Chain A
Amino acid sequence: MITIDHVSKQYGATTVVDDVSLHIERNSICVIVGSSGSGKTTLLRMINRLVEPSRGRILIDGKDAAQEPPHLLRRRIGYVIQGHGLFPHRSVADNIATVPRLLGWDAARIASRVTTLLAALDLEPASFAHKFPHQLSGGQQQRVGVARALAAEPALLLMDEPFGALDPIIRNKAQDDLLAIQRKFGTTVVLVTHDIDEAFRLGDRVAVMSAGRVLQSGRPAELLRAPADPLVARMIGTSDRALRLLSLTTAGEAALAGTATGPQVAASASLREVLSELVWRGAEGATVLDAAGNPVGQLNVAAILARGRSA
């Protein structure tokens, strides 16, 4: 989907992004995580050419992004920023309709797309379409920002600290929504954050950046088991890495054959949650139920612990 090929960005003598290569697969969520000043936002902004690379190239679907006029390229790429950047003088519906209008969609198609998106983001279309941004809560503004970015059905969505301005409870909900939406629309997402927990929670792949370089990129479990760099290890932290590892696997994926006495857990729950439940109840095993409530297997403490080991 996206190939970032030896890309650098310099401002005068300062190198902000230093020879970064990264491949982002279709229909996946790639999280770029790093502290402020690590160059992660600049890297993201080079994908839709809000920043032009000094060296290297970026291929989107095999085509060099530099070949297309920037404003046309950007209409194909959704973009969400921290603090949403909604147009304060336009209603929610008009905000969402921005890119479809630029693309010249007809009014009926725009209206139906706006309704679909509002509904998909838990914003009742009848009551929200005509509100203005200042009449919404922070969480609602953020969701409208996501809806606006998704309006023209982009195959690619870029998100720059999209949940940074939200309080923790709303942030969790927004992250769940993003995962649901990503599955529903099959959008490829590149998300930038400084929050390592968010990175592990959302990312199919996580790239850790520092001082303009990508220190390591891979699946969250790979980063946890084998940090390639002391800084990566420090960012991830060692105190709860086993539990982090458990949180990456669901009960459904780890379930063994048979049933167990003890509590019942959902197949979608993470092993970390199942373990917590077992510790809490003092039980040795749990039965795993699918979404319909049918048993699909069982888990015991030993099996869970084995999943959290370093190798």
Chain B
Amino acid sequence: MRFVVAALRLAALAALVAFLWTPQTFAPLFTPLTQFGAPPIYDQGDLLTLALAHLGTVCVAAIASSLVAVGLGILVTRPGGAEFLPLSRSLVNIGQTFPPVAVLAVAVPLVGFGFKPTLIALFAYGLLPIFENTLVGLQTCPPAVLEAANAMGMSARQRLWSVELPLALPLILEGVRLSLVISVGTATIGSTVAASGLGEVIIAGLLSNNTAFILQGALVTGLMAILLYDGMALLERRICRHSRVD
């Protein structure tokens, strides 16, 4: 079973790389979806460049939301920061409640078109899963372990870095993974405000009534999301072999 899963994963990766590297090879597959001799493969830009730009936007947003969400999670679980918990929770929830499209609409007049408004939308949208998971991770550290850390003579900072965060890490990474995957899909709407990404391909398809384009954009986005999800899961297992086992 594990072998089959690994084989599928590798096959998906190989298909994605091959398609982005030499998209024209796949032209025969997409030709049946086109009408009136329209191009079967997206021809208004390089798919590989678009995919990398898409991934880049997602990663920058995920790094920013991870830093802020984990930082907030740490702050509100410290004795002095507990009173900020309701406030932080509302802020993070607002980020998730506002549809990214609405965030784009608000952000464009402020920061202009392109990469920046997309980044803001993805950042706000990605905070919630990371924040909530950080919170649960830090709040559910076994009390006996924390007591031992105190009794060993760790300062609050030493306890945080060498006990609490390592124990919360599996959950934090899970939050990051969730946020990443959501962002990969959501980032496609960035193309409505001229951010470079796979949304361009889908929008081009919608504008010219070319199903092949739509499918290409969606497939590449979907495959990237799945592979990113798997890759993160693999990373989590590597890092967290020994945490949270008891």
Contact = CB atoms under 8 A, between A and B. Distances in A.
Interface of A: 48, 50, 71-76, 79, 81-90, 98-99, 102, 132-134, 148, 158
Contact of B152 (A79, A84, A133, A134): A79
Contacts of B245: 88, 132, 134
B15 interface: no
Given A71-B154, A73-B153, A89 B167 contact: yes
Given A50-B147, A87-B145, A71 B155 contact: yes
A85 B242 contact: no
B174 to A, nearest CB: 16
B201 to A, nearest CB: 43
Contact of A102 (B150, B154, B243): B154
Given A84-B148, A86-B145, 6 more contacts: A74-B152, A83-B144, A88-B142, A88-B244, A89-B243, A132-B242
Given A89-B166, A102-B158, A134-B245, A74 B150 contact: yes
Contacts of B240: 89
Contact of B148 (A72, A87, A89, A134): A87
A227 to B, nearest CB: 33
Contacts of A81: 144, 147-148, 151
B223 interface: no
Nearest to B151: A79
12 contacts: A50-B151, A71-B154, A75-B153, A81-B144, A82-B144, A85-B148, A88-B145, A88-B245, A99-B152, A99-B153, A102-B153, A102-B158
A85 B243 contact: no
A12 to B, nearest CB: 19
Contacts, number: 69
B163 interface: yes
A85 B144 contact: yes
Contacts of B144: 81-85
A85 B154 contact: no
Nearest to A99: B152
Contacts of A74: 150-153
A154 B55 CA distance: 54
A133 B246 contact: yes
A86 B163 CA distance: 11
Given A132-B242, A133-B246, A85 B147 contact: yes
B153 A134 contact: no
B151 A48 contact: yes
B167 A88 contact: yes
A51 to B, nearest CB: 11
Interface string B202-246: 000000000000000000000000000000000000001011111
A102 B159 CA distance: 11
Contacts of A79: 148, 151-152
